[in-house]
Amino acid sequence: MYRQRKIIKEFTTNQQGAKVFLNIDHQPKLAIPVLKDNKIRGVVLEVLAVDFHDDNHTPMITVRKNKSIKSYLLPDWYQEWAKLNIASIHSAATPFPCQIEFGYLPDEERYYAEVL
C-alpha cells in the first residue's frame, strides 16, 4: 500500500531569495563580534535588505556572503535601527545594498551598525 507523505513547509524565501524559516528558532543569528574598543573593526557585510521576522518584532538582515544570499536574525537592540531603515525604504531614500559594519562595544554596553 502506498502511503502519501505529508510535506511540511519549513521556510519561505524573501524578495532577495534568502530562506526565512517559519520557526524562528531555525533562523540563523548573526554572529556579532565583541570589540575591545571602537578602533577595532566589526564584521562588515553587504546588506541587501532589513526586515522583521514574521513575529513582527525580531529584526533581520539579508546579506550577500560568498556569492550566496542569507537572512540572519539580529539582537533586539537593533529594533529601532531596523524600523528606521524600513522607513527609509518606503521614502525611496534606501541605502541598500550597501556595506554595513556590525559590532558590540562592551565598555559602552551597545551594539552598533555603521554604513561604510
Q: Distance between CA atoms of 110 and 13, rounded to whole angstroms?
A: 31
DSSP 29: B
3-class SS of residue 76: helix
36-54 pLDDT per residue, tens: 887 889 999 999 999 999 8
Percentage of the chain lying above the pLDDT 90 cut: 64
Q: Give CA torsion, residues 80, 114, 63, 81, to 10 deg.
A: 0
Percentage of the chain lying above the pLDDT 70 cut: 86
